[in-house]
Structure formats: C-alpha cells, structure tokens
Structure 1
Amino acid sequence: MSRLFTPITLRGTTLPNRVWVSPMCQYSCDPVAAPGVPNDWHLVHLGGLAVGGAGLVLTEAAAVLPEGRISPYDAGLWNDEQARAWARVVDFVHGQGAAAGVQLAHAGRKASTHRPWDERSGTVPAAEGGWETVGPSALPHGDLAVPRELDAEGIAAVVRAFAEAARRADAAGFDVVELHAAHGYLLHQFLSPLSNQRTDAHGGSFENRVRLLLEVLDAVRAVWPADKPVLVRISTSDWVEGGWDVEQSIALARELAAHGADLVDASSGGNDPRQEIPVGPGYQVPNAGRVRREAGVPVAAVGLILEPAQAEQVLVSGEADAVLLARPLLADPRWPQRAAVALHAAREVPWPAQYARATRDPVPLARPFPRPGVDGAS
C-alpha cells in the first residue's frame, strides 16, 4: 500500500491521507465591505482542492488581528462574521471527505503590504487602507516601514488574539489549527536573532526568543479541544549566517511537543532579504528529516515536492510523516487523485460521483504531472 495514501491519526483526528494542501494566501477578501471575510473565491478554491482528494485542506493565513494581515485583502479570524463565513467552507470540505484546517497568523513587521500582483513594493500607506506595523524590535524588513516594538501589553494582546481565533476556529468546525511561526511573520520574527534584538524576557537567549511562540501554543491548546491536533509551521533556517537555523529548530520542536503541538510543518526562509536559499526539488526535505529524527516529533515536509514517486519516497525514507503541496495543486487540483492512480492506490482516493466518468477515460489520468517552470508549477 502507498504510504502517501495511508491514513494518519493525530490525537483523536484521523486524516484520510498524507497529501495536504499547504496554506496559500489568495489576497481575495474585500478590504472595505467585508474585511477579512472569506467569500465565494475561498469556497471554490479550497472546495476544489477537497474535491481533488487532498486529505487535509489548510486555509491561507487567517490573521488573528486586523493589523496582523499581510495585506488589506487577507482573510482573518478575529471576529464572528469571519468564523461564520469559514464554517461554510469547512462544511463543503467535510462533505468531500477531507479534513479542514486553518492557519492562524500575525504578519508583524511584514504586514500592510501590497498584493503580489499589484507590482508595487513597500508598505501600503494609511490613505490607501494601510496601518502601523509591529514587531519584536524596531527593525524593518527590506523596504517595508519600521515597525513599532511591541511592549508587554501588546505581546499579551497577541497571545489572547491567537486563543480567541482558535475558539472561533473550533466553533466554525475546523479539525486542525496550525500556528504560523515561519516565513518571517511575527512569531518567526521573535524566534530569529536577526529580527529580535530585545533585552527583556522575550529576547536574547534561545529560551527567551521562543517564549512568545510557546505562550501562544499554551493559550491555544488551553481552548482547543483535546482530541483535535495543533500543527506549528516553522522556518527551519533563515538561510542567513547568524540567524535561525536547523539546530535551533530541532530544540524548538522538542519544546513544541512538550507544550502540546502534534506535528511540525517544516518550511524555511522569509525573515531576511539577504537569504540565500538553495532552491531545488525537495530542497527543504533534509531539514524536515533532521527535525523528525533528532527531535522525535511528527513532521510534514513542503517545498518543490512535485511528483508522486518523489512524495512517496519522502515518507518511505522516514524524512516526514506527510507532505504539503502548493503550486502543484494550483496547476492541477486533481493531483492527489492522479497520484493515487500512479501509485496503484486509486481505491484509497475515490472520485466524486459527479466526476467518476473521468476514471473510465484514460486520457486525463495519463496526462503528465506538472513540470517546474514548464507547466506552471514551481
């Protein structure tokens, strides 16, 4: 049996397979009429990925506070209107046999930016709907605005906001929450000595720099049902000398497990424009494998995992317990179903009755998988 299409149980929640949808920001909320509220785009986008056979469908980063959005167009979970809108998406995902997860996030000093396709850089000015950003220290990221350093009250407010968002996620019916502590956003900013130059209890030593993430995890775990898992996405390396690295990630993973995290989602980068990332197929998998082996915790791998055989080997070799896909799923939402055919596990990923006729036509299932830089995948 294919390892990729074997169920996995975390706490009391069983996920039907190990092909998971990586969080992908869509920048598609209405920033004026319905700030942070997911809409039909999110329903169709995430619902289509559930129809395609993914075992866990994770939402894009949902901001826990308005000022925690990456852009004015980002989704959120800081109020009940947003929770009700997410519940509609969750219900549809569940109806396709997939589990639904939400990534809770705060962008920190990388907030209030333009959408990627707007072809504008820098911080969105207040006159255009932007806001003051915050961070662990008054250090900007690249050409973005200098953030306001969070004081003790501000830090406590962030912790409370994550917990309240988790409460709403449970009310909306989500099976999984993931804390976003990667890619240079607020929780990662506190972890890395490149962005955290505080001299109080939240800065300096490793123990102090990981404190905020553990406080957030404790607060979320206290309100999140005991039978539902909490995932934590981390960047295993800043790819900058003197920054956050895989050795610190291993130590952090042990702490996360001790505080109730159930799986580490191992990504990398995003915190410093000087990063030099050795991008290539599966380039983040070795760090994921080290975290899994040396910390002894379940791990998911992500990053240029494109082919079914490649994904299968990541799991069979013991480098990870699950894989997360992003751009390959954008290029082909049916990737899980076609991968199951390629790995002789087609019965493990049933097609919806409405689409079953496609399984009787060999042409769609025989189509090559997306190639990076050729078929829209990367």
Structure 2
Amino acid sequence: MSALFTPLSIRGTTFRNRLWVAPLCQYSVDKQDGVPIDWHLVHLGGFALGGAGLVMTEATAVNPVGRISPQDTGIWNDEQQESWARIVRFIRSQGAVAGIQLAHAGRKGSTWLHWDPREGTVPVEDGGWEPVAPSAIAFGDYATPRSLETSELAGIVEDFAAAARRSLDAGFELLEIHAAHGYLLHEFLSPLSNVRDDQYGGSLENRARLLLEIVRAVRAEAGDEVPILVRFSATDWAEDGWDAEQTGVVAGWAAEAGADLFDISTGGLVSGTRIPLSPGYQVPFAEHVKDASSAPVSAVGLITTAQQAEEIVASGRADAVMMGREMMRDPHFAWRAAHELGVQLDYYPPQYWRAKFR
C-alpha cells in the first residue's frame, strides 16, 4: 500500500490522495478586474483531471490592494465568485478537492508581471496602487509601503472573512490563509518587516495577533466541517528574522484558533537572500512544525519524483506533499506516480483509459 495514495480526511473533507497542487500564480487576468478566466479553468481543471488529491488556486486577493499584480485573481465581489464557481464545479466533477488560497500581498503588491522586463512597483498611472504593510519598510527596490493604521486592521480581518464566505458559496471545500513568502501576514510575523509599537508589533504574541484574528474569523465563516490551512514560510533565511522555532509556536496557536493543517514553505521576505536549494530542502521545516504544533503538515519545494514524495509521506515527516513546477510540467503526474509505485487508480477519466500506463 502506498502512503502517497492513501486517502486523508480532515474534518468533513476526504482527499483521495496526498499528492496536492501548490498555489501557482498565473498573472493572467488581462482585464485587471480579479475575475478568473478560461486560462484558470483549463490550468486548474487539468490537475483535477490528472488525479491530484487537492487542487489549490493561486494566491487570490481578498481586496483590490491585496493583489500581487494587477493581473491577479480576487474573491471580493460577485463576478469573481461566479467565475470561480464554474472552475470549482469542474475540479470537483473530476474527484479532486477544490481549495482556495486567500491572500493579501502587502508591501509586495502592485508589481509588474514576472515576464515583464520592467521590475518593481507598478505606478498608479499604469494601473498600480500604493502598497500597504505593517511598517513603512520597502522590499528591496520596491516602493516604500504605507504603514497600516491600527484602526484599519479590523477591516482586513473582515475582508478575509468575507472572502471565505464567498469562497464557500462558490463551492470551495478548503480554505488556505497565506501567511508566507513575504506577503502581508508574513510581514506582520517577521521582526524584520514589523517594527510597530502597537498591539500588533513587538512580542511574538503581538506579531501573530493579526493572523490569529483572521484564523478565528475564517473559522467562524467556515463552520465545523471545512478544513482551514495556513501557509507559513518557516524561515526568512536571514539573521534575526522569522524562524522555525517561532513558526512552530505560532502554528500551535493557530491550531487552537481553528486551523487544521500547516503548509510549510520558506523565504520570500528578504530580497536577495541566498537559499540553499536541494531536493526536498524544506521538508525538515515541515517536520519541525508538525512536531512543535502536533498538527498535520504538507511539505513543498523541489519535490519532483514519485519515490521522493512517497518517502516523505511514508516516513511521517509530512502528511501530504504540495507540488508546483513538476505539476506544471506534467499535470497528469499522479497517474505516472501511481504507475511507478505500483498503485492501480480507480479514478482515471474514462475518456483517457486508452492512455493508462501498462
């Protein structure tokens, strides 16, 4: 029996396997209105057809200034919700769980597309906006963000809660709160980007306050049956920054507040940081958070083969694996992984039976 292809149940949701699609930003909303398009249907639908257990959306903004780029998706209005509902229906029709990553880009918002030769912050006259952050500290050469007033933070909590409600109404079965990769909630967590002197800055309890308020608010909308994940960057890879020990502590608090599983990545807060890349290099961080929080975790980062993914889950170091680039290279990766591990799947689409591995 393969550990990777053993179903996993969290609250009222059962995943057919532990091979999950990581959030993958597509920067494809050409109208800049946050509404997902046919590209997102085909992109995400292909993973569901290909056998993944969970298909997660890209970072989906809870309000307009929460987008990474003007071409990002959102979930703050009816038109966006209705377009997501169409995509969710197809994902679920193929037997995968449909999950959405709720996000706010913070100081890394209003940026040019990754393939645009221009770099940094998009000016307001070109469709950009003034980024916001816990403190007026820029990310690298990006524009200096505006420090959020204490009175504004309740509104951000409300935006996450409203986005959660819209997501559930669109049919999503899982909600992930994005607190990683140098975006707003990670900015609040790290002492390198949060130098506030109010109740949201200073001590670890204060820096974690906004995230925990959001977890509680999202749980209140989700009820008892819907899984809630939190994505953490477990380290800033920088001296005196956010680290694995703090991540483990805050994950424990987030579990008490209503989170069910922690999706563990690293980095993204400090520009120009050198990260020691190697296959599965972030798995030890996932294992640490699992031990520290006594909660299930997923691992991500240079996981590219069936055997590697199987070992990570079978060893108990993580309860699921998130795959990104390898899934983009092969949206039917689950079929190939099952063949290599000697697993007979019963969820091949009948239209593709003639292509089954023999």
**What SS does the corresponding residue of 1:118 show, helix, strand or coil?**
coil
Matched, 1:355 2:338: no
The aligned amino acid for 2:108 is K
Residue number in structure 2 paired with 1:4: 4
Structure 2, gaps ≥5 residues long: none
Shift of 1:9: 0.5
The aligned amino acid for 2:294 is G
Shift of 1:274: 4.2
Shift of 1:345: 1.1
Question: Considering only aligned residues, what root-mean-square deviation do their CA atoms show, in Å?
Answer: 0.9
**What SS does the corresponding residue of 2:135 show, helix, strand or coil?**
coil
- Check the 8 A contact 1:135/1:189 in 2, yes or no: yes
Residue number in structure 2 paired with 1:234: 232
Aligned length: 358
Supply the distance in 2 between the matched residues of 1:4 and 1:156 (Cα, whole angstroms).
40
Aligned 1:52-131 pairs, distance under 5 A = 52-131=50-129
Supply the distance in 1 between the matched residues of 2:78 and 2:13 (Cα, whole angstroms).
25
Shift of 1:317: 1.2
Residue number in structure 1 paired with 2:183: 185
Supply the distance in 2 between the matched residues of 1:288 and 1:330 (Cα, whole angstroms).
23
Supply the distance in 1 between the matched residues of 2:345 and 2:356 (Cα, whole angstroms).
11
Residue number in structure 2 paired with 1:15: 15
Shift of 1:226: 1.3
Residue number in structure 2 paired with 1:375: none
Normalised by the size of structure 1, how large is the TM-score?
0.93
Residue number in structure 2 paired with 1:371: none
- Check the 8 A contact 1:21/1:57 in 2, yes or no: yes
Supply the distance in 2 between the matched residues of 1:242 and 1:119 (Cα, whole angstroms).
33
Shift of 1:303: 0.3
Supply the distance in 1 between the matched residues of 2:95 and 2:129 (Cα, whole angstroms).
40
Output one character per residue of 1:331-372: Cα deviation in whole Å (capped at 9) or x when no partner: 011101110111111225x21111110116x5xxxxxxxxxx
Normalised by the size of structure 2, how large is the TM-score?
0.99
Output one character per residue of 1:15-48: Cα deviation in whole Å (capped at 9) or x when no partner: 111100000000001235xx00001000000000
Residue number in structure 1 paired with 2:309: 311
The aligned amino acid for 1:218 is R
Residue number in structure 2 paired with 1:211: 209
Shift of 1:276: 2.3
The aligned amino acid for 2:334 is P
- Check the 8 A contact 1:27/1:73 in 2, yes or no: yes
Supply the distance in 2 between the matched residues of 1:347 and 1:220 (Cα, whole angstroms).
34
- Check the 8 A contact 1:337/1:346 in 2, yes or no: no
**What SS does the corresponding residue of 1:83 show, helix, strand or coil?**
helix
The aligned amino acid for 2:40 is H
Structure 1 runs (4+) greater than 2 angstroms displaced: none
Supply the distance in 2 between the matched residues of 1:105 and 1:295 (Cα, whole angstroms).
23
- Check the 8 A contact 1:246/1:287 in 2, yes or no: yes
**What SS does the corresponding residue of 2:264 show, helix, strand or coil?**
strand
Aligned 1:278-357 pairs, distance under 5 A = 278-347=276-345, 350-357=347-354
- Check the 8 A contact 2:150/2:198 in 1, yes or no: no
Shift of 1:236: 0.2
Structure 1, gaps ≥5 residues long: 363-378
